[in-house]
Amino acid sequence: MSEISEEISKRKTFGIISHPDAGKTTLTEKLLLFGGAIQTAGAVKSNKNARAALSDFMEIEKQRGISVATSVMGFEYKGVKINLLDTPGHQDFSEDTFRTLTAVDSVIMMIDSVKGVESQTEKLLEVCRMRNTPVVVFINKLDREGRDPFDLLDEIENKLSIKVCPLSWPISMGKTFRGVYNRFEKHLLSFQGINSKLSDEVTLINDIHSPELVDIIGEKYANKLIEDLELIEGVYPAFSRDEYLKGNISPVFFGSAVNNFGIKDLLDCFISIAPSPLHRETDTRMIEPEEEKFSGFVFKIHANIDPRHRDRIAFLRVCSGKFERSKFYLHTRLKKELRFSNPTAFMAQEKNIIDEAFPGDIVGLYDSGNFKIGDTLTEGENMIFKGIPSFSPEIFRFVINKDPMKSKQLAKGLEQLTDEGVAQLFTMAYNGQKILGVVGALQFEVIQHRLLAEYAASCNFEPINLYKACWISSHNSKSLKDFIQDKYTKIAVDKDDKHVYLAESAWNLQMAQEKNPDITFHFTSEFK
């Protein structure tokens, strides 16, 4: 086996997705505990007495108690190199989550046992389904009085249109929660109560029909468990790894992240069934991870990860071959060779310089402004990885500079923050007015906060009546030129100088489409 193949077989790269407040950041920390990456879990929501969760390192995240940027964490567990991407749960940051899902090979989806399937979970799973991403479901908060587990599974199947296969099963919940039976490993875990530090979950019993079962959980709960397991056998399909890898079936685990219960079972099963790094599609061909030559793409850019240093880091997913420090690689969009003397690996905000990385790994590259989201690096082959578009924003605001003396800082801040993909910047063709477009309104608050904190620039946002921003193209250059002249006051350019039509209403857009058959209106930026 070649060095590259051997390294690929050791790697699992996945993301965690959920609705806000389902316990995702807590789960992330507990996984890091098992990986030995941290010794004690932090508080999920920061207050005067508790530090912020490790994966939430931006100031506004600590204040609001929500994750607004994707964190990347690498750790080892049982000889497996795990690359974990913690994504924002809040719907206003779904575009960042979407792009992150292009960089993972599988997903753990968290469901709150009290609330069940929520709207944001449905949207995120649609993205997974577009790519046939394998999904493991973790039903959290079993220590609370939640919904009946069979009802939860029905809701998951109906709302998310996926087949489920419970690989563990809860024994009661809330105040009478007794534990979980692991169908995958055929053992019973007894719930011992709250424990925020790392604990060894003891396997108490292997035979479900053993008389010890009654001694451990009581006759009432033992009978109910046996009855439930028989029902599961009859109702749900047997677990098939092939079907899971195709995205056709989702294994389900139950537990309590805050109590560190059921996490080890989830992690042990995950590393045995989850896919190693997979192939990736480019505009010219399919790239296999085992190929000798390096290739990778940038799926995220983050400015000022350390506020004390004005650094910009591009997050690169290695897709094939071996990435090596200080080696020259081709930036295919700019057609120029770049080398990186300080590539880093991440443990949340902790960064370590690395000499090499393999498919599945996430590498941080210090960036002086060369990168945009979706950029491709190769060892010379001219290609671009597909499937990392920008979406048409849904909410728009004029940018009003509050301090003319800080115009340069504002311009630089807007350029760098929009390079991260948190928003899109459009410049009106006829008067140069700046318009910011976002997917969710909370983005404006984050941008305003970060402009002031990181660039000492202050601005206001004024509403603008816009329905949609559409990229436009045409095979007929005269038709495109005529359309741009005709709609001059509704035309802007994006950061790449692509023309964008700003439609004030659905009716305006429909009329423009009907009257200009030669013009193609695009709702994502990824088009030829």
Same domain, 295 and 265: no
Does 142 map to a domain?
yes
Which range among 265-269, 383-387, 432-436 shows the weakest confidence by mean pLDDT?
Answer: 383-387
Q: What is the pLDDT of residues 445-482, one digit of tens each?
A: 878 888 888 889 999 999 898 888 999 999 999 999 99
CA neighbor of 248 nearest in space, from 157, 167, 182: 157
- Distance of CA 2 to CAs 288, 308, 358, 452, Å? 14, 42, 12, 50
CA neighbor of 395 nearest in space, from 26, 94, 55, 21: 94
> Of 232, 248, 273, which residue is a domain's last?
273
Same domain, 178 and 291: no
Does 383 map to a domain?
no
Domain containing residue 478: CATH number: 3.30.70.3280
Same domain, 457 and 476: yes
Same domain, 416 and 400: yes
Query: What local confidence, expressed as pLDDT, does residue 45 receive?
Result: 37
Question: How many other CB atoms are found less than 10 A from the CB of residue 393?
Answer: 20
Question: Which two three-digit tokens encode residue 513?
Answer: 């489409």
Query: What distance in Å separates the CA atoms of residue 244 and residue 232, rounded to the nearest whole number?
Result: 18
Please spell the DSSP secondary structure of 149-190, one letter per residue: HHHHHHHHHHHH--EEEESEEEES-GGG--EEEETTTTEEEE
Q: What percent of the chain shows pLDDT beyond 70?
A: 83
Q: How confident is the model over 148-156, as a mean pLDDT?
A: 94
Query: What distance in Å separates the CA atoms of residue 201 and residue 210, rounded to the nearest whole number?
Result: 20
Q: Which of 40-49, 120-129, 333-342, 384-393 has the highest mean pLDDT?
A: 333-342
Conformation bin of residue 350: beta by default, left when phi > 0, alpha when psi is -120 to 50: beta
What is Dmax (Cα atoms) for the chain?
A: 83
Question: Which two three-digit tokens encode residue 43?
Answer: 């508080």
Same domain, 165 and 41: yes
Same domain, 227 and 292: no
Query: What distance in Å separates the CA atoms of residue 313 and residue 346, rounded to the nearest whole number?
Result: 11
Same domain, 227 and 137: yes
Please report the sign of the dihedral spanned by the C-alpha atoms of residue 332, residue 335, residue 337, residue 340. negative
Is residue 200's pLDDT more than 90? no
Report the domain count for the chain.
3
Please report the sign of the dihedral spanned by the C-alpha atoms of residue 473, residue 479, residue 485, residue 487. negative
CA neighbor of 376 nearest in space, from 340, 331, 321: 331
Question: Which two three-digit tokens encode residue 180?
Answer: 């979980």
Q: If 0-12 CB within 10 Å is exposed, 13-18 middle and 19+ buried, where does residue 21 land?
A: middle
> Of 223, 258, 273, which residue is a domain's last?
273
Which range among 36-50, 249-263, 486-500 shows the weakest confidence by mean pLDDT?
Answer: 36-50
Q: How confident is the model over 152-160, as a mean pLDDT?
A: 92
Query: What local confidence, expressed as pLDDT, does residue 39 receive?
Result: 56
Query: What local confidence, expressed as pLDDT, does residue 478 receive?
Result: 93
CA neighbor of 463 nearest in space, from 395, 394, 414, 407: 395
Does 4 map to a domain?
no
Specify the amino acid at residue 292: E
Location of structure tokens 């029909």: 209
Query: What distance in Å separates the CA atoms of residue 343 and residue 324, rounded to the nearest whole number?
Result: 9
Q: Alpha helix (H) ranges present in 261-322?
A: 263-273
Q: What is the pLDDT of residues 275-303, one digit of tens each?
A: 999 999 998 999 999 999 999 999 888 76
Query: What distance in Å separates the CA atoms of residue 389 and residue 299, rounded to the nearest whole number?
Result: 10
Query: What local confidence, expressed as pLDDT, does residue 204 receive?
Result: 63
Judge whether 259 and 199 are in contact, CB under 8 Å: no
Please spell the DSSP secondary structure of 481-517, one letter per residue: HHHHHHTGGGEEE-TT--EEEEESSHHHHHHHHHH-T
Q: What is the pLDDT of residues 93-132, one digit of tens each?
A: 456 667 778 889 999 999 999 888 887 778 778 778 877 8
Same domain, 41 and 153: yes
CA neighbor of 179 nearest in space, from 211, 139, 143, 151: 143
- Distance of CA 208 to CAs 106, 173, 181, Å? 31, 19, 9
Question: How many other CB atoms are found less than 10 A from the CB of residue 297?
Answer: 27
Does 390 map to a domain?
no
pLDDT band at 313 (very low <50, low <70, confident <90, very high): confident
Which range among 36-45, 397-406, 457-466 shows the weakest confidence by mean pLDDT?
Answer: 36-45
Does 5 map to a domain?
no
Does 71 map to a domain?
yes
Q: Domain range for residue 482?
A: 395-522
Does 387 map to a domain?
no
pLDDT band at 21 (very low <50, low <70, confident <90, very high): confident
Q: What values do phi and psi take at 100, rounded to 5?
A: -60, -40
Judge whether 297 and 99 are in contact, CB under 8 Å: no
Enumerate the β-bridge partners of residue 302. Answer: 313
Location of structure tokens 């429909």: 510
- Dihedral angle, C-alpha 162, 164, 170, 175, nearest 10 °: 10
Q: What is the pLDDT of residues 350-363, one digit of tens each?
A: 668 889 999 999 99
Is residue 57's pLDDT more than 60? no
Q: What values do phi and psi take at 239, rounded to 5?
A: -70, 130
Same domain, 441 and 334: no
Question: How many other CB atoms are found less than 10 A from the CB of residue 369?
Answer: 11
Query: What distance in Å separates the CA atoms of residue 309 and residue 295, rounded to the nearest whole number?
Result: 29
> Of 222, 247, 273, which residue is a domain's last?
273
Q: What is the pTM of this model?
A: 0.75
Q: What percent of the chain shows pLDDT beyond 90?
A: 41
- Dihedral angle, C-alpha 249, 255, 256, 259, nearest 10 °: -140
Specify the amino acid at residue 297: F
Same domain, 236 and 302: no
Same domain, 223 and 292: no
Query: What local confidence, expressed as pLDDT, does residue 301 receive?
Result: 80
Query: What local confidence, expressed as pLDDT, does residue 394 receive?
Result: 76
Judge whether 4 and 357 are in contact, CB under 8 Å: no
Domain containing residue 306: CATH number: 3.40.50.300
Q: How confident is the model over 21-36, as a mean pLDDT?
A: 77
Query: What local confidence, expressed as pLDDT, does residue 335 receive?
Result: 93
Query: What local confidence, expressed as pLDDT, does residue 489 receive?
Result: 92
**What value does the mean pLDDT of the chain take?**
82
Query: What distance in Å separates the CA atoms of residue 186 and residue 205, rounded to the nearest whole number?
Result: 9
Does 480 map to a domain?
yes
- Dihedral angle, C-alpha 19, 20, 23, 28, nearest 10 °: 90
Query: What local confidence, expressed as pLDDT, does residue 310 receive?
Result: 57
Q: Which of 48-62, 152-166, 192-206, 426-440 has the highest mean pLDDT?
A: 152-166
Q: Which of 48-57, 60-69, 194-203, 261-270 has the highest mean pLDDT?
A: 261-270
Query: What local confidence, expressed as pLDDT, does residue 390 receive?
Result: 63
Same domain, 335 and 443: no
